[in-house]
Amino acid sequence: MGVSRTAVSRWAQQLQVGPRGVAALKNRRKSGRPPRLTTAQWRELLKILKKGAIPSGFETERWTLPRIRDVIARRWGVSYHPAYLSVKLRKLEWSPQVPAVRARERDEELIRAWLERDWPRIKKKLGAAVR
């Protein structure tokens, strides 16, 4: 069920000792400061992120935590620390996909020819040298 033994032990203890029985196990409100963004606002943020960084006014498509923080600040007037954003976005199952960096001069045909012709020869020599 994805819970620790410690949690199960605590629940069993609450059932046995506590006067409230099963009622003691019901969800309680989280203590602490209320969230600054609602669930709907987080969903809206994910939609903004999926559209890309350029429509949000950035020069490149790469999302960074400071950029996401800026979008939240502009849209909702709320400030978050980038480390918190990282944790929260992972919980929301959002992951930034870093674009593969490729040289403009990359010649796919030359690479394929090298892999077919030269690499097997080099690999064979390396294998012989190890023995």
43-100 pLDDT tens trace: 999 999 999 899 999 998 889 999 999 999 999 999 999 999 999 999 998 887 666 6
- pLDDT bin (cut points 50, 70, 90) of residue 30 is confident
Amino acid at 119: W
Q: Cβ atoms within 10 A of the Cβ of 11, count? A: 13
Q: C-alpha dihedral over 114, 119, 120, 124, to 10 degrees? A: 150
Distance in angstroms (rounded) separating the CA atoms of residues 114 and 91: 43
Helix, strand, coil shares, percent, the chain, to 5? 60, 0, 40
Let me know: does 25 contact 3? Beta carbons within 8 Å: no
**Cut 0.95: pTM above it:** no
Closest CA to 95 of 124, 65, 118: 65
